[in-house]
Structure 1
Amino acid sequence: MAATPEGTPIWADAMFTDIEGAKTFYADVLGWTFGEESTEYGNYTQAYANGKAAAAVVPPMPGQEGQSQWCLYFASSDAAATAASIRENGGEILMEPMAVGEFGSMCLARDPGGVVFGVWQSGTHQGFETTMDQPGAFAWSEIFTREPNTSDTFFPAVFGFGQQQMEDDTMDFRLYTLGEGNVVLGRMLMTEDFPYDIPPWINVYFNVPDCDDAVAKATKLGGVLRFGPMTSPFGRFAALSDPQGANFSVIDTTTTEGEMPKLSDVS
């Protein structure tokens, strides 16, 4: 299998105090099934969409209890070297690079603007087995930050991203690319519309066959609708928080409306 290009979103997981509650919620909203808890690795439990690895849930380690949140991991051929680059570019390592058995190696980090993310060097675990167009699969992700210039400097320096700016006077939105313009990640400025007690984060989107139906299921189970549903050129999407406070979005990529935005390359 060809190596995943450096900097590609490769995996997502989240810590939940109530693992069974999280499994019930995401099974209903995203159609996930779950594997056996891996007691050797802190009861890490993999989620599957149509039998393919889509994400994972895990209880918090002692002393790390707090609000649940999804964490996005970027591919690396050498987690230790990526960690060194993160430090060199002003980031902070929250969890030092460590081997996870034969599955691979990981670290957790924070950019200088406060955005938390992970790094994954694949071993036997190659990351997402799903493709983005499948129900329940990881579909997209966006950095939400109050310091866009910081992210626009840091992430390209660490992962070699190219950049394209959306030509829109109503928002500051940028795309990060790899290779020949392969778009892998978005970056959104958090305006004053976002309460200041909300920290910056990377929002993950999961594909659903019907956005409105997914929202209805989520809110019925105690989730909170934060934005939408709204139809865009990319799909019909909505932003949610699950009952334990983890933010995520759902998107139906088959329902689109409007013209694709104009983009300009950033040197």
Structure 2
Amino acid sequence: MFSDVEGAKRFYGDVLGWTFGESSSEYGNYTQAYVDGRAVAAVVPPMPGQEGQSQWCLYLASPDAEATAAKIRENGGEVLMGPMRVGDFGTMCLAREPSGAVFGVWQAGTHEGFEAPAATPGAYCWAEVFTREPETADAFLSAVFPYRMKEIEDQAVDFRMFDLGEDTVLGRMRMTEDFPPEVPSYVNVYFAVDDCDEAVARATTLGGILRFGPMSSPFGRFAALSDPQGANFSVIDVTTTEGEMPGVKDV
């Protein structure tokens, strides 16, 4: 959601190589973003009451949005909007988990979601829930969705991963004192790039702010940024890795 949709299109078009479809006035000026003709994201103006809060929202898939909304309420979360049908495309709702991070739920109709593989430059790659209340977020996510949890064995970091079948689909990081107290819990979305340093250079030249990195890790070289409208996101080059993968254990 962006207060300045045209500004967001210019910024992400230059930084991530996105192209954009036609704006759909019937669905709140929803505008699909593409990489090589495959859907990777969308930009929309803020919903009423959300003006001035430009941000990314990750939608988690559900076979039944109504049932998921009920589970959200039963486990201490808050349903902010919906569930509501969006034409033939699907059914959506917006929610807030008990520690404060906002996310979406999507029951697919004709629009199933991301069309590009996660490692494709410009495509969605990964997401982490940043929270000061990890136990609360962990209990909520594993109750609402069919996740199996595992954690990194490194005692220096409080990080868990959520598996769906054989796939690891989401991370959870405890927010440290490095985060200003006014920053609420949030979902940090990663987009794949072919060169992290070049992407950071493009972003900062266009008014983005570098928050962390670039840093190399066993998962790739990544950096955290804010765009000119204040929306947080990260970029990662998964082909540039450094160090050994950390040990993990089931929780």
Q: Is residue 2:207 matched to residue 1:222? A: yes
CA distance in 2, matches of 1:18, 1:143: 25
Map 1:1-267 → 2, pairs under 5 A: 15-180=1-166, 182-266=167-251
TM-score (norm 2): 0.99
Shift of 1:163: 0.6
CA distance in 1, matches of 2:23, 2:144: 33
SS in 2 for 1:21: helix
User: What residue identity is the alignment partner of 1:22?
Assistant: A
CA displacement 1:209-264 (0-9 Å, x = unmatched):
00000000000000000000000001000000000000000000110010000001
CA displacement 1:122-175 (0-9 Å, x = unmatched):
000010001001110000000000000001100010001111110112210000
Q: RMSD of the alignment, in Å?
A: 0.7
Distance 1:179 1:240, change over 3 A: same
CA distance in 2, matches of 1:56, 1:142: 19
SS in 2 for 1:149: helix
TM-score (norm 1): 0.93
Shift of 1:63: 2.9
CA distance in 1, matches of 2:11, 2:160: 32
Q: What is the total number of aligned residue pairs between the two structures?
A: 251
Shift of 1:62: 3.3
CA distance in 2, matches of 1:63, 1:234: 38
Shift of 1:201: 0.3
Partners of 2:191 and 2:235 within 8 A in 1: yes
User: What residue identity is the alignment partner of 1:142?
Assistant: E
User: What residue identity is the alignment partner of 1:57?
Assistant: V
SS in 2 for 1:65: coil
CA distance in 1, matches of 2:239, 2:72: 37
Shift of 1:50: 1.2
CA distance in 2, matches of 1:174, 1:62: 34
Identity of aligned residues (%): 72
CA distance in 2, matches of 1:264, 1:117: 26
SS in 2 for 1:70: coil
Partners of 2:46 and 2:53 within 8 A in 1: no
Consecutive unaligned residues in structure 1, runs of 5 or more: 1-14
CA distance in 1, matches of 2:48, 2:77: 25
